[in-house]
């Protein structure tokens, strides 16, 4: 059988007249490759997928694509007619991966609103900041998030509709009550266009509060088509334009949603990609490896996409649970690198499942590089190759592209890259080097085009795929009256990849349990340091006056603080 090169495959499947045709265009005024045949909006994506196939499963609840669409029409009528939501208005979601999250998201984006996917792990002060920062006119929240709103509920100008909740502050209403009063209906007429804003997702940078990354419908749909394109390129390289007749599957395609929908991975790579595939999405309330193994067996799950933490847990569960996980054929990763041994364990633990991984950012709608199968097994430390619809480069400090093998900042350009940060023009300007988005990651590209990420520029801890800004945790620590100085940094961790560590300068004894309780009111629990070193001496500094984190990381006698970071 004739084998095709990568360049030949890309040229063939992106040529004029092909379903994934690419042309040279502009998005947000930046030159890039643009898909010609994407839907014009997420609304068109949802409408094209209407069917009686099972779409979303949560515990004993099951919704078809058509039922989900009809419910989203009713929610869209409620928010436009009762709450006067118009195109461009921000509507926030803050809840677990309930079916309502999907229904509400579809309604918001279908009428041209901007869906603000708030981090459901945020505590009260973080929620208050997010709602005020984005200017949300309306919030949908479950009981846990409603409870966190009590301290600031009277200080914000945001209407609240609650989901799966019974204990409500005065002035809130429930979605169930509103749906009961709203009969079946069609979707309102206010349709969005491809370059209208669709989502706002908060991402932690290296300083201060998180920033709201703004994506258009085209940005998101480009990511969806990019994943499809990679599959078509792989098939062409193997079979050319004469692929064998597909084998009829023994069960419908299904994926496990084990990551939060407020992340680009959960929302785009898992949920929205399922519309094009007519795939069943089985959602978990929270990650539990034994429950994941049970669902894979019972629901015939074919794919799972999650950070190294989850896939490592599942490898262990596969060996101990006795569950039949043979339906799995794809175990995806991202967010943080897997250890090479875990890559090999995936291939040996699930019968026919092969591992894959990739690199992406919230700012790229989770698309960037990718690799899978035998090539990934052969190169387990790489993040993969640049996907065909975007362009990557490695640049020096002056913005000059570096040759193969040399290390510099990984930068990206493409139609999936965000417009910028919500009402943060300075941060947006800083994030771009001309038309190129700065990743903050140090990388090199080898002679085969494989990307290797070796370090980062940004002062971040990446814990199980969650970006944690060191400066934000430091600011919370410095709120404590007995802490004079604090430095936060990454500590290697076998399960999460990295954990949060801190060195504190204080002239008083610091009670660890009391410190944790203090921090729980200021930052999400996953951001609270698990490792701590307390010193009675000022922290070491470099010549510029900045704290010497490198010295602290290597020399601090860290003590275990707590494992309760769920």
Q: What is the pLDDT of residue 136?
A: 97
State yes or no: pLDDT of 208 exceeds 70: no
Whether 87 and 167 share a structural domain: yes
The answer to whether position 210 is within a domain reads no
State yes or no: pLDDT of 245 exceeds 80: no
Task: For residue 188, give every residue at least 6 positions away whose Cβ sits within 8 Å of its Cβ, in sequence order, or none.
Answer: 76, 77, 80, 81, 111
The stretch 262-285 carries a mean pLDDT of 95
The answer to whether position 50 is within a domain reads no
Residue 294 φ/ψ, nearest 5 degrees: -65, -45
Q: How confident is the model at residue 351 (pLDDT cuts 50, 70, 90)?
A: confident
The answer to whether position 544 is within a domain reads yes
The stretch 201-213 carries a mean pLDDT of 81
Total domain count for the chain?
3
The answer to whether position 519 is within a domain reads yes
Whether 247 and 294 share a structural domain: yes
Task: For residue 285, give every residue at least 6 positions away whose Cβ sits within 8 Å of its Cβ, in sequence order, or none.
Answer: 58, 59, 96, 97
Q: What is the pLDDT of residue 565?
A: 44
- 369-372/384-386 β-pairing: antiparallel
Q: Which of 158, 165, 124, 121 is nearest to 142 (CA)?
A: 165
CATH number of domain containing 383: 3.40.50.12780
Whether 302 and 430 share a structural domain: yes
Question: Is this structure's pTM higher than 0.95?
Answer: no
Distance CA 77, CA 85 (A): 10
The answer to whether position 386 is within a domain reads yes
Query: What tens digit of pLDDT does each residue of 431-454 get?
Result: 999 999 999 888 999 999 999 987
Q: What is the pLDDT of residue 544?
A: 52
Distance CA 199, CA 267 (A): 10
Q: What is the pLDDT of residue 389?
A: 94
Q: What is the pLDDT of residue 24?
A: 97
Whether 282 and 367 share a structural domain: yes
Q: Which residue has the higher pLDDT, 557 or 201?
A: 201
- 138-142/61-64 β-pairing: unpaired
Q: What is the pLDDT of residue 313?
A: 85
Q: What is the pLDDT of residue 302?
A: 94
State yes or no: pLDDT of 298 exceeds 80: yes
Whether 13 and 88 share a structural domain: no
Q: What is the pLDDT of residue 273?
A: 96
CATH number of domain containing 195: 3.40.50.980
Domain boundary among 456, 475, 510: 456
State yes or no: pLDDT of 519 exceeds 60: yes
Whether 256 and 338 share a structural domain: yes
The stretch 298-311 carries a mean pLDDT of 88
The stretch 177-193 carries a mean pLDDT of 96
Q: What is the pLDDT of residue 546?
A: 67
Whether 241 and 374 share a structural domain: yes
Residue 160 has which token pair? 């609240």
Distance CA 262, CA 519 (A): 23
Query: What tens digit of pLDDT does each residue of 138-164 get?
Result: 999 999 999 999 999 888 999 999 999
Q: What is the pLDDT of residue 497?
A: 82
CATH number of domain containing 546: 3.30.300.30
Domain boundary among 441, 456, 471: 456
The answer to whether position 170 is within a domain reads yes
Distance CA 114, CA 415 (A): 19
Q: What is the span of the domain harbouring residue 103?
A: 63-203
Query: What tens digit of pLDDT does each residue of 98-145 get?
Result: 999 999 999 999 999 999 999 999 999 999 999 999 999 999 999 999
Q: Is 537 exposed, middle or buried (0-12, 13-18, 19+ CB in 10 A)?
A: exposed
The stretch 518-527 carries a mean pLDDT of 89
The stretch 221-233 carries a mean pLDDT of 95
The answer to whether position 421 is within a domain reads yes
Whether 28 and 155 share a structural domain: no
Q: Where are the alpha helices (DSSP H) in 163-286?
A: 175-181, 217-239, 264, 273-277
User: Vertex 27, ends 25 and 31: CA angle to 5°?
Assistant: 50
Query: What tens digit of pLDDT does each residue of 325-336 get?
Result: 889 988 887 766
Whether 239 and 335 share a structural domain: yes
Q: What is the pLDDT of residue 566?
A: 43
Residue 181 has which token pair? 């009063």
State yes or no: pLDDT of 463 exceeds 90: no
Whether 178 and 263 share a structural domain: no
What average pLDDT does the structure give for the chain?
90
Domain boundary among 203, 226, 260: 203
Beta bridge partners of 453: 443
Whether 186 and 246 share a structural domain: no
Whether 288 and 404 share a structural domain: yes
Q: Is 135 exposed, middle or buried (0-12, 13-18, 19+ CB in 10 A)?
A: middle
């Amino acid at each position: 059988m004739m084998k095709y090169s990568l360049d030949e495959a890309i040229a063939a499947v992106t040529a004029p007249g092909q379903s994934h045709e690419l042309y040279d265009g502009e998005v947000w005024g930046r030159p890039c490759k643009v898909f010609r045949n994407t839907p014009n909006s997420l609304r068109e994506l949802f409408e094209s997928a209407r069917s009686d196939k099972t779409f979303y499963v949560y515990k004993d609840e099951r919704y078809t694509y058509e039922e989900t669409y009809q419910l989203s029409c009713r929610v869209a009528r409620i928010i436009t007619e009762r709450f006067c939501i118009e195109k461009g208005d921000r509507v926030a979601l803050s809840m677990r991966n309930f079916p309502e999250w999907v229904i509400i998201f579809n309604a918001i984006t279908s009428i041209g609103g901007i869906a603000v996917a708030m981090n459901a792990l945020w505590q009260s002060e973080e929620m208050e900041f997010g709602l005020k920062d984005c200017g949300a006119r309306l919030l949908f929240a479950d009981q846990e998030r409603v409870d966190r709103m009590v301290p600031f509920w009277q200080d914000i100008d945001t209407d609240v509709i609650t989901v799966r909740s019974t204990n409500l502050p005065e002035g809130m209403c429930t979605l169930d009550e509103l749906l009961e009063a709203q009969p079946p209906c069609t979707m309102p007429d206010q349709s969005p266009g491809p370059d209208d804003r669709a989502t706002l997702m908060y991402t932690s940078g290296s300083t201060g509060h998180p920033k709201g990354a703004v994506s258009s419908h085209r940005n998101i749909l480009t990511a969806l088509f990019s994943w499809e394109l990679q599959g078509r390129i792989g098939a062409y390289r193997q079979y050319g334009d004469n692929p064998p007749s597909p084998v009829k599957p023994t069960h419908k395609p299904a994926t496990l949603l084990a990551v939060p929908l407020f992340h680009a991975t959960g929302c785009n790579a898992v949920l929205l990609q399922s519309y094009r595939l007519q795939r069943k999405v089985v959602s978990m309330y929270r990650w539990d490896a034994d429950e994941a193994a049970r669902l894979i067996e019972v629901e015939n799950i074919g794919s799972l996409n999650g950070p190294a933490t989850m896939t490592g847990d599942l490898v262990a569960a596969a060996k101990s649970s006795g569950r039949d996980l043979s339906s799995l054929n794809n175990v995806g990763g991202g967010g943080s690198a897997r250890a090479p041994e875990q890559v090999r364990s995936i291939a040996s633990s699930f019968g026919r499942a092969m591992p894959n991984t990739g690199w992406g950012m919230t700012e790229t709608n989770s698309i960037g590089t990718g690799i899978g199968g035998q090539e990934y097994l052969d190169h387990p430390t790489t993040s993969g190759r640049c996907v065909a619809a975007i362009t990557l480069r490695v640049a020096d400090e002056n913005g000059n592209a570096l040759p193969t093998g040399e290390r510099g900042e990984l930068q990206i350009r493409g139609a999936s890259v965000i417009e910028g940060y919500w009402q943060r023009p300075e941060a947006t300007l800083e994030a771009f080097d001309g038309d190129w988005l700065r990743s903050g990651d140090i990388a090199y590209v080898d002679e085969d085009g494989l990307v290797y990420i070796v370090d980062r520029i940004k002062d971040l801890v990446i814990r199980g795929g969650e970006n944690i800004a060191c400066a934000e945790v430091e600011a919370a620590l410095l709120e404590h009256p007995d802490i004079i100085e604090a430095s936060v940094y990454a500590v290697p961790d076998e399960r999460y990849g990295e954990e949060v560590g801190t060195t504190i300068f204080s002239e008083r004894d610091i009670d660890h349990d009391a410190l944790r309780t203090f921090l729980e009111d200021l930052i999400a629990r996953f951001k609270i340091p698990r490792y701590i070193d307390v010193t009675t001496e000022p922290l070491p500094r470099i010549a510029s006056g900045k704290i010497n984190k490198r010295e602290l990381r290597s020399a601090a006698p860290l003590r275990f603080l707590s494992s309760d970071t769920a």
